Structure 1
Amino acid sequence: MMPATAALAAATLPDGRELIVRGAAHEDAPAILAIVHRAFTARPVVGDKPEALSDDLRSVEARLEYGHGYLTLLDGEPIAVVMVARQRGALRLGRVGVLPEYRQLGVASFVIGVVLEDLAARGEERVQLLARQEFPALQAWWEKHGFVAQGIVEGNCVVMARALPVAIEVPDADAMRALGARLAHLLRAGDLIIASGDLGAGKTTLTQGIGAGLDVDGPVISPTFVLARVHPTRTDGPALVHVDAYRLGGFAELDDLGLDDSMEGAVTLVEWGTGVAEALASDRLEIDIRRGIDPDDETRWVFLTPIGPRWNRVALAAVAKEET
């Protein structure tokens, strides 16, 4: 398992500052306490005083001892925290806080994405959290990140939960293509796949494997300049529609490509489709490909997130366990 203080993910903000998420260690307790108190003090005063404001150094150290945490640094300065622990038989997120002055930078969404993927890489399958009933906007924010109210109330909080992605460690490009070929066996006409990841992460390589598994005409290459490329089937299976949304400004421009006309008889894969292509189908497979911090390491982590009843997490997990 990765050491607590090892960097899990990094990002560069538009102004050039570096954002790093890493595991929290015992010596981070004072910084965690300061972030929690400032973050929860800045929230609107509604109803009872937040339990988090009763935290002290000893309680934070206990949370680190019996659970674990994530600390986010901006140019080396701690600005956000997430704690994780098992409560009532379930894995739960808690003390999710970002310093008030950094709340408009997308830090929280980035951090939660990293945390969920790290929990998936640890073999976890499901996670919960408690959202206070007095803050419907906060519940709506968690819903955007895949959490669903479970119809259970604890005190003044609603229990929300979501399934975690299926995590697959992929050592090289050949293994990425092999994973794509295995995924192809689960695909059928009408399926939508949204693939995300940094430049060079392996989105097109994975798509090549899917194309090979579907046995479509090739070559499967990035459709950056044509935006969309159709690969007809050589058998009686579905075609592959390969879309690159990198240069598109939103769903309206994607809609102009007329994908609705081809989706029924094809598997549609949209690279760079996060935030753009979700409206194409309520049921979809979201694939996020993460590279490590070390640029010389070819290893990638692939995270498969099933959205909607079309997708079976058990079947995706079985694909992950197959030999590459």
Structure 2
Amino acid sequence: MSAPSTAAVVAEAALPDGGRLRILRVDASRASDVVPIVHAAFAARPPVEPPAAALADTVDTIAEKLDGGFGVVGELDGEPAAALIVELDGDDAVITRVAVHPDHQHRGIANALVGCTMDLLALRGTRWLTVGVRTEFPALGRWWRRHGFVPTGEQPPLEILRRTLPVMAEAATADAMRALGERLATVLRAGDVIIATGDLGAGKTTLTQGIGAGLNIAGPVISPTFVLSRVHPAVAGGPALVHVDAYRLGSFDELEDLDLEASLPDSVTLIEWGGGIAEGLADDRLEIDIRRGLDPEDETRLVFLSGLGARWADGQLEELR
């Protein structure tokens, strides 16, 4: 008799084409759902030598990998369409399989699975995430680089890429959010770029107020929705705070019209609603995603802080947990 299936819905995501994706965290009992997705995805790639090990996966080998970590499965209309497996080793995690069925590729599903996996690892307190990519597929390597992974070496036939994972902090009240911003300000310096995302009312401006207080800048920090950007000079010789609201902007070109490049080296630049628009300002940046919990009566916010690039490679965000 097989073990009962253990699967928990961890997210639902709207795909760019309008489809609805349900993402589940799964254990070894769902290995039989994962195997056909892996086989179909890897069989659709151009042949390589030696062949991809994933083509030889069985229910038993996939179950063993899931026992060493966990998996996430993406379902469309109740049917498994994509899968990702991550193995755990202390502060490190390694993606050992990521596959989207050929019928559903190029729909943003891999983006959703990787993002969900990083969230789960951040909640666990894992620090590093590693993936190996076949060198014959440079486009895959570029895809992982766009997600903040950087090359660390080769283990032929694989290129090894790695990134730090988001640090997750909780803020139960608006005062706690401001206090988190003040603590964050202690590790900020001139030249830093911060992209803050979150639903309306999530607390982006409240966090920015805390950052402003920690930087000891002049003037009250309020959302610059209509003026688009405000410059708050430092009172005591530190970096200025440039506060931008990109809600009404539709592209990076419109952001460039604000001429932020002139002030970047001497300021901390924070862009609210900047996801998908402001990433071109700097390869080294801090991305902050603020989310409400599932209980609408609970004001607690989960704050995910992702430091990208060499500027944030030394783990200085860890103290903000």
The alpha carbon displacement at 1:66 in A equals 2.6
The answer to whether structure 1 residue 209 and structure 2 residue 214 are counterparts is no
For residues 84-132 of structure 1, the C-alpha deviation after alignment (integer angstroms, 9 at most, x for no partner) is: 1147995310210112222222111122122122212211111212211
Amino acid at match of 2:128: R
**Which residue of structure 2 lines up, in the alignment, with residue 230 of structure 1?**
231
**Which residue of structure 2 lines up, in the alignment, with residue 34 of structure 1?**
36
Return the TM-score normalized by structure 1: 0.87
For residues 160-185 of structure 1, the C-alpha deviation after alignment (integer angstroms, 9 at most, x for no partner) is: 22222222233333222210111112
Return the TM-score normalized by structure 2: 0.88
The answer to whether structure 1 residue 131 and structure 2 residue 152 are counterparts is no
Contact 2:91/2:127 (8 A) holds in 1? no
Q: 1 CA distance for matches of 2:240 and 2:136?
A: 48
Q: 1 CA distance for matches of 2:168 and 2:91?
A: 22
Give the alignment of 1:1-324 within 5 angstroms: 5-14=7-16, 16-86=18-88, 91-154=93-156, 156-311=157-312, 313-320=314-321
Hey, which bits of structure 1, 4+ residues long, moved more than 6 A? none
**Which residue of structure 1 lines up, in the alignment, with residue 3 of structure 2?**
none
The alpha carbon displacement at 1:82 in A equals 0.7
**Alpha-carbon spacing, 1:288–1:234, altered in 2? closer, same or farther (3 Å):** same
Q: Structure 2 unaligned segments of length 5 or more: list them.
A: 1-5
**Alpha-carbon spacing, 1:120–1:88, altered in 2? closer, same or farther (3 Å):** closer
Amino acid at match of 1:222: S
**Alpha-carbon spacing, 1:119–1:89, altered in 2? closer, same or farther (3 Å):** closer
Contact 1:90/1:127 (8 A) holds in 2? yes
The alpha carbon displacement at 1:141 in A equals 1.1
SS at match of 2:7: coil
Q: 2 CA distance for matches of 1:122 and 1:88?
A: 10
Amino acid at match of 2:320: V
Q: 2 CA distance for matches of 1:23 and 1:248?
A: 35
SS at match of 2:184: helix
**Alpha-carbon spacing, 1:34–1:292, altered in 2? closer, same or farther (3 Å):** farther
The alpha carbon displacement at 1:255 in A equals 0.8
The alpha carbon displacement at 1:159 in A equals 2.1
**Alpha-carbon spacing, 1:256–1:88, altered in 2? closer, same or farther (3 Å):** closer
Q: Structure 1 unaligned segments of length 5 or more: list them.
A: none
The alpha carbon displacement at 1:187 in A equals 2.0
**Alpha-carbon spacing, 1:6–1:293, altered in 2? closer, same or farther (3 Å):** farther
The alpha carbon displacement at 1:294 in A equals 4.0
Amino acid at match of 2:37: I
Name the stretch that deviates more: 54-63 or 231-240: 231-240
Amino acid at match of 2:86: V
The alpha carbon displacement at 1:20 in A equals 2.7
For residues 245-281 of structure 1, the C-alpha deviation after alignment (integer angstroms, 9 at most, x for no partner) is: 2222222111101112333332210112233223323
Contact 1:190/1:266 (8 A) holds in 2? yes
Q: 1 CA distance for matches of 2:205 and 2:24?
A: 28
Identity of aligned residues (%): 52
SS at match of 1:310: helix
For residues 289-317 of structure 1, the C-alpha deviation after alignment (integer angstroms, 9 at most, x for no partner) is: 23334444433322222233333643211
Q: 2 CA distance for matches of 1:296 and 1:45?
A: 53
SS at match of 1:8: strand
Q: How many residues align?
A: 317
**Alpha-carbon spacing, 1:264–1:92, altered in 2? closer, same or farther (3 Å):** closer
